[in-house]
Amino acid sequence: MSYVDENLIEGEVVLYRTTLHWIVLVAPMTIAAVIGFGGLMALFASLATLGDKNGTAGGLATVSLVLILIAAAIAGLATWHRSSTEMAVTNKRVMIKVGMISRRTTEITLQKIESVGVDQGLLARLMNYGSIVVRGTGGTPEPFSKISHPLEFRRQVQQQIDKLLAVAANA
């Protein structure tokens, strides 16, 4: 069960969820591919030198194994980082959780949100990701980078704040 679902309060409903954009995987996966390719080349070189009497096949096989394990670790950690980030808008608050072992959470009630800023460059606009900055009353800005659909996230927050204001005005 997700962090957001585990920490809902009575009467709270999740209205919108997003996570980190897949763009966060590009750099680590590229690095992992380059290192993994080097590992495969070392593996093929070790197989080519199996019959040699100078004994380099074992050393090359060890190097290839180490490089392939490093590449797998980089790819695995990047994927884990992306999947361990949750962002949600509920009918009562904004919830953001980053990390699985070491965790950082931000939960701001809708009444306490001053603004949600969105920062997108040209590439980010084209690929629909960006950074958001949630500002609470009297608090420090909370920036979160490379989230998917940042404009929709902001729209959902603003919609819920408008609903709260309408209910308060009618009361």
What is the mean predicted confidence (pLDDT) over 16-26? 94
- Cα 126 to Cα 23, 117, 120, 122, 130, distances in angstroms: 12, 18, 9, 6, 10
pTM exceeds 0.85: no
Band of the pLDDT at 36, cuts 50, 70, 90? very high
pLDDT for residue 54 is more than 90: no
* pLDDT of the residue at 50: 73
CA-based end-to-end distance of the chain: 36
Do 132 and 153 contact (CB within 8 A), yes or no?
Answer: yes
* pLDDT of the residue at 60: 83
* pLDDT of the residue at 51: 67
* pLDDT of the residue at 124: 94
* pLDDT of the residue at 55: 65
d(Cα 36, Cα 34) in Å, to the nearest integer?
5
Q: What is the pLDDT of residues 138-164, one digit of tens each?
A: 877 888 899 999 999 999 999 999 998
